[in-house]
Amino acid sequence: MTTTTPTEEVAEEIARAAVAERLAAGAFIAGPVKSIFWHLGELGDGQEWRVELRTTNAVRDKLADRIKQLHPWDNPELIGQPIEWCPEEYATWVDKATNPPA
């Protein structure tokens, strides 16, 4: 799942909470990136930080809800892309990290 944030601090807060709460196995933050967008009827641009989070379908919706809680924007970018392929060991790590034993 990916999102963008207005600051590096917000990006880190989201990434840290998601991993600590076992909603993502890991995250990386990239930025700043230049963003050009259409918003509220106007062309705009700005600097953003991109957060990519490794998760599973089982917790995807919980992760999206948590990002919305932490994000300062009313309608943050939330994009999920299924992984077509990865080594089985990596998939197992993501599953175990987001599905801790009871």
Domains of the chain and any CATH numbers: 2-96 (3.30.70.120)
**Strand locations in the chain (E):** 2-5, 26-39, 42-54
Strand (E) or helix (H) holding 90: helix 88-98
- Cβ atoms 98, 61 nearer than 8 A: no
pLDDT at position 102 is: 74
- Cβ atoms 48, 5 nearer than 8 A: yes
pLDDT tens for 14-70 read 999 999 999 999 999 999 999 999 989 999 999 999 999 999 999 999 999 999 999
For residue 77, give both structure tokens: 């970018």
pLDDT tens for 65-96 read 999 999 999 999 999 999 999 999 999 999 99
pLDDT at position 101 is: 78
Q: How far is CA 78 from the centre of its chain?
A: 7
Q: Is the model's pLDDT at 4 over the cut of 80?
A: yes
Strand (E) or helix (H) holding 1: none
pLDDT at position 7 is: 98
Cis amide leading into 87 (omega within 30): no
